[in-house]
């Protein structure tokens, strides 16, 4: 496994807000790939309940390692993210070919213009370019969304170019002809926008405490197990043991990992990375 790679990719500040470029490929209804040809390596404890030594902070309008409000802090063995300011923790090193396991729960408080909206956070993988390259907040990457009713959605937090993109089997559903993951759907490629997890409610609304009929996520205050498997351009997302989303031909295939602060209080008791090694 090549954990460390050169990230000398020039950022392109041409992200088109709300616009997705996609290509439709024939539906195949085939089995999705899995990392069966790989073995799990020794765990890298990105967060082990003790410190944030593997990370640095980046907060909007403050920059790197400036966190006077302690948006990110370790308390009682947990990573507490207040959500009071928008930003992220970012791994000091880039990674490729891994399984990332994160155990999280919502802790209640919401802030600012998201005070009455769905609790929101997320993990970005394969992140490249400048800190704050996207809206002055995050490095560009591929987001696995953590939000009430939508945990497991993919969002391409790209720069408007083909350097960032994913392909997934989808069906289109209301509202808004949204793309929703379905293993029997047609493969579509996007370079911006989102692909919803398979059970996202068509009645989803951006309101606090939202829950859909098929939600896999636990109730607020209860722990959730999120697992992201990433290998050779594939990404599979499991929430509480269920496959909720899948993408292939993911670009880029490597990069840093970011955990967001986005207006809601959230706690992590573990973030562990297992390198995947060819058998």
Report the C-alpha gap between 111 and 107 in whole angstroms.
Answer: 13
No. of H helices and E strands in the chain? Answer: 0, 21
> Per-residue pLDDT tens for 78-131?
999 999 999 999 999 999 999 999 999 999 899 999 999 999 999 999 999 999
Give the pLDDT score at 137. Answer: 98
Q: What is the mean pLDDT of residues 233-240?
A: 98
212 token code pair: 């859909």
Confidence of residue 30 (pLDDT cuts 50, 70, 90): low
Which stretches within the chain are classed as H helix? Answer: none
Q: 195-226 burial, b if ≥16 CB within 10 A, otherwise e?
A: bbbbbbeeebeeebebebeebbbbeeeeebeb
| Contact predicate 235/253, CB 8 Å | no
pTM: 0.90
Q: Which of 139, 155, 136, 157 is nearest to 147 (CA)?
A: 155
């Amino acid at each position: 496994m090549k954990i460390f790679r050169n990230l000398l990719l020039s950022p392109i500040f041409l992200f088109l807000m709300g616009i997705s470029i996609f290509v439709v490929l024939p539906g195949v209804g085939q089995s999705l790939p899995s990392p069966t040809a790989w073995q799990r390596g020794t765990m890298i404890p990105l967060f082990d309940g003790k410190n944030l030594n593997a990370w640095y902070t980046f907060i909007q309008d403050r920059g790197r390692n400036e966190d006077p409000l302690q948006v990110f802090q370790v308390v009682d063995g947990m990573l507490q993210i207040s959500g009071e300011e928008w930003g992220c923790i970012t791994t000091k090193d880039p990674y490729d070919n891994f399984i990332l396991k994160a155990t999280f729960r919502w802790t209640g408080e919401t802030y600012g213009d998201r005070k009455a909206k769905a609790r929101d956070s997320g993990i970005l993988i394969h992140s490249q370019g400048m800190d704050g390259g996207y809206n002055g907040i995050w490095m560009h990457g591929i987001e696995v969304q953590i939000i009430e009713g939508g945990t497991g959605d993919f969002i391409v937090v790209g720069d408007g170019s083909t350097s960032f993109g994913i392909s997934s089997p989808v069906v289109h559903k209301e509202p808004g002809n949204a793309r929703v993951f379905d293993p029997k759907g047609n493969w579509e490629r996007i370079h911006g926008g989102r692909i919803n997890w398979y059970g996202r409610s068509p009645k989803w609304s951006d309101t606090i405490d939202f829950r859909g009929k098929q939600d896999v996520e636990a109730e607020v205050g209860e722990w959730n197990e999120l697992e992201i498997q990433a290998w050779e351009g594939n990404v599979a997302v499991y929430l509480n043991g269920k496959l909720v989303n899948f993408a292939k031909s993911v670009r880029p295939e490597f990069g840093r990992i970011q955990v967001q602060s986005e207006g809601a209080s959230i706690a992590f008791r573990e973030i562990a990375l297992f390198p995947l090694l060819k058998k």
